[in-house]
Amino acid sequence: MSTSLHRTKPHIREAVFPGDTARLVEIIREYVRWLDMDLSYRGFEAEMQAFEQTFTLPSGMFIVAEDEGRFAGCVGLLRHSDEVAEVKRLYVRPDWRGLGLGEQLIGAMILNAKALGYERLVLDSVPRTAFAQRLYERLGFIDTAAYYANPVAGTRFLARVL
> Looking at residue 37, what is its pLDDT?
86
pLDDT confidence tier of residue 43, bands split at 50, 70 and 90: confident
pLDDT confidence tier of residue 62, bands split at 50, 70 and 90: very high
Pairing state between β 120-125 and 156-161: antiparallel
Residues 6+ apart with CB under 8 A from 72: 6, 10, 65, 66, 92, 93, 95, 96, 101
Q: pLDDT: is 8 or 62 the higher one?
A: 62
pLDDT confidence tier of residue 1, bands split at 50, 70 and 90: very low
Pairing state between β 120-125 and 84-92: parallel
Give the helix ranges, DSSP H, for the chain. 21-35, 44-49, 51-54, 101-115, 130-138
> Looking at residue 39, what is its pLDDT?
83
- SS3 per residue for 116-143: CCCCEEEEEECHHHHHHHHHHHHCCCEE
Residue 2 clears pLDDT 70, i.e. is over it: no
Residue 30 clears pLDDT 80, i.e. is over it: yes
| pLDDT more than 70, % of the chain | 94
pLDDT, tens only, 71-122: 999 999 999 999 999 999 999 999 999 999 999 999 999 999 999 999 999 9
Find out whether the peptide bond into 151 is cis, omega within 30 degrees of 0: no
Pairing state between β 70-79 and 11-14: unpaired
Domains of the chain (ranges; CATH) run 11-120 (3.40.630.30)
> Looking at residue 7, what is its pLDDT?
58
